[in-house]
Amino acid sequence: MPRDTLADVSDETLLVLYANGDAEASRLLTTRLAPRIFGYALRLLADRAEAEDVTQETMLRLWQQAPKWRSGEAQVSTWAYRVVTNLCTDLRRARMRRPAVTLDDAPEVADGTKSALARIIEGDRMTALQTALSQLPDRQRQAVVLRHIEGMTNPQIGQIMEIGVEAVESLTARGKRTLAALLAGQQQEIGYDGSQEDEA
């Protein structure tokens, strides 16, 4: 089907079209989804190569899921974010179990500011934010990124993380508090005030 005709079609319809053999539908779906889930994976992992692997694996699972996709059960994007969340959690757990055995690994662990992420996100503020995000517990980081950077609603986040809305609110609130405390120590470098005197 021509690309112009598909522009207004929903993600779910594109997936069904792909399952029926429409290669153009997969191109459009990739254009829509891949940048979003790659950005999300990069925020969670702070490693470009791993984020690319997670993105590719998520999209591969989507293509495999296409013929079995059950209409109306979940949005395609919500499903994809859930897969990314789970893959990133598994990767981070594996990373914690894996000792740094090569010389290449050591500097990255020792100095987060020289990670691959630092080369792709310009500016000290973004680097500082990413460094602080990386220090949050997994679930808090996922909730904060989905809420405040991906711009999702609490019910959407609840579907992705498979928890209730109240749990989402709790995770984002605790995550923001921890982030604020972490960033307060870097206020000089990033222009972050961090004071709590101006209560509204």
Binding site for another protein (CB under 8 A): 18, 21, 23, 26-27, 30, 34-36, 38-39, 42-43, 48, 51-52, 55-56, 59-60, 63-64, 120-122, 125-126, 129, 148-151, 176, 179-180, 183-184, 190, 192-200
Residue (2 or 123) nearer to another protein, CB: 123
Compute the least distance from the CB of residue 27 to another protein, in Å. 6
Residue (155 or 194) nearer to another protein, CB: 194
Residue (137 or 194) nearer to another protein, CB: 194
Compute the least distance from the CB of residue 42 to another protein, in Å. 5
The sign one gets for the Cα dihedral 67, 76, 129, 154 is negative
Compute the least distance from the CB of residue 101 to another protein, in Å. 27
Whether the Cβ atoms of residue 83 and residue 39 lie closer than 8 Å to each other? no
Compute the least distance from the CB of residue 158 to another protein, in Å. 20
Q: What's the token pair of residue 112?
A: 């987060």
- Find where tokens 């989804």 sit: 33
Q: Residue 163 contacts by C-beta under 8 Å, 6 or more apart in sequence?
A: 171
3-state SS record for 92-137 = HHHHHHCCCCCCCHHHHHHCHHHCHHHHHCCCHHHHHHHHHHHCCC
